[in-house]
Amino acid sequence: MTQQTTGEGAGQPPYSYPDYRSTRLRAPKEPLVILPGALADASGPVYGHGRIGEADDDLTRQHDGEPLGERIIVTGRVLSGDGRPVRNSLVEVWQANAAGRYTHHNDQHPAPLDPNFSGAGRCLTDEEGRYRFVTVKPGAYPWKNHDNAWRPAHIHFSVFGSAFRSRLITQMYFPGDPLFEHDPIFRSVGDPGARRRLISRFDLETTEPEWALGYRFDIVLEGHNKTPFERPHA
């Protein structure tokens, strides 16, 4: 075990990225302590699945009325680094509404709240590692990071693998967004190939006629899938 200055896996953003202002006081400056895989993965917790409610995977059905916006289906697979499906694993998502506003009380962007949209969802992956959400396409929104700063439309994803280091929170973006080149959070991923892995693709196969556009977003977690996942709790 050695201490080194990077410890940053290829394709991952650094801790310190001054263009994203909030990293300045939060990025660790001391070198990381590098853990060998055998020690890092020795303890094997069963990650909390929780119970999934009926409309948890359909963010358009959580209220009495239909949310405003462009209805979309977002689906894909969660895979470990060795290409195996991550089964029965909890996927959590959250996002702004179609006008670019979160329901969170700290979001003061003067765009309308939608009484029929909370923007939070969850589901379990199936035997092939597949997840699926129905939602509306989130809007871009301003933030105070720099002059005229707007976030590209995105959906936050929280995903668990079979090991501590597989834990991932990321953001899914939409193809062709003109804000990519102006967004320091997206640009914090330096490698262009890795950046592309954050962008979903429009998928006609997922699209349903007369109803919703479909987007595919596959998620690959760090490490190998050595530990089979437990069956979900009933």
Partner 1 sequence: MSLEPTPSQTIGPFFHDALLGRDLTELVPPDEPGAVRITGVVYDGAGEPVTDAMVEISHSTPTGFRANPNSPDGGFSGWGRSGTVDGGRFSFVTSKPDPVLTPDGTRQAPHVDVLVFARGLLKPVATRLYFPDEEEANAADPVLASISTPVLRRTLVARNEGGALRFDVRLQGEGQTAFFGFE
| Active site amino acids | 102, 141, 151, 154, 156
What distance in Å separates the CA atoms of residue 134 and residue 66, rounded to the nearest whole number? 12
At 183, the amino acid letter reads D
What distance in Å separates the CA atoms of residue 144 and residue 167, rounded to the nearest whole number? 29
Contact between 149 and partner 1 per CB under 8 A: no
Contact between 17 and partner 1 per CB under 8 A: yes
In angstroms, what is the minimal distance from the CB of 209 to partner 1? 30
Contact between 7 and partner 1 per CB under 8 A: yes
Which residues lie below 8 Å from residue 54, measured CB to CB, with a gap of 6+?
none
What distance in Å separates the CA atoms of residue 51 and residue 38, rounded to the nearest whole number? 32
DSSP secondary structure of 200-224: -EE-TTT-BTTTBEEEE--EE-SS-
What distance in Å separates the CA atoms of residue 163 and residue 44, rounded to the nearest whole number? 7
In angstroms, what is the minimal distance from the CB of 210 to partner 1? 30
What distance in Å separates the CA atoms of residue 220 and residue 125, rounded to the nearest whole number? 13
Residues numbered 174-193 forming contacts with partner 1, rule: CB under 8 A: 185-186, 188-189, 193
**Closest CB to partner 1 among residues 8, 208:** 8
Contact between 28 and partner 1 per CB under 8 A: yes
Contact between 108 and partner 1 per CB under 8 A: no
**Closest CB to partner 1 among residues 51, 148:** 51
At 223, the amino acid letter reads G
Number of residues that bind partner 1 (CB under 8 A): 87
Q: Which stretch binds partner 1 (CB under 8 A): 67-75, 90-98, 129-137, 205-213?
A: 90-98
> Do 133 and 121 touch, CB atoms closer than 8 A?
yes
Tokens of 191: 């490698």
Q: Which stretch binds partner 1 (CB under 8 A): 46-54, 130-138, 174-182, 202-210?
A: 46-54
The interface mask with partner 1, positions 194-213, x = CB under 8 A, is: xx-xx---------------
In terms of phi and psi (left: phi > 0; alpha: psi -120 to 50; beta: otherwise), the region of 30 is beta
Contact between 43 and partner 1 per CB under 8 A: yes
Q: Which stretch binds partner 1 (CB under 8 A): 13-21, 62-70, 127-135, 202-210?
A: 13-21
Q: Which stretch binds partner 1 (CB under 8 A): 62-70, 131-139, 164-172, 208-216?
A: 164-172
Contact between 131 and partner 1 per CB under 8 A: no
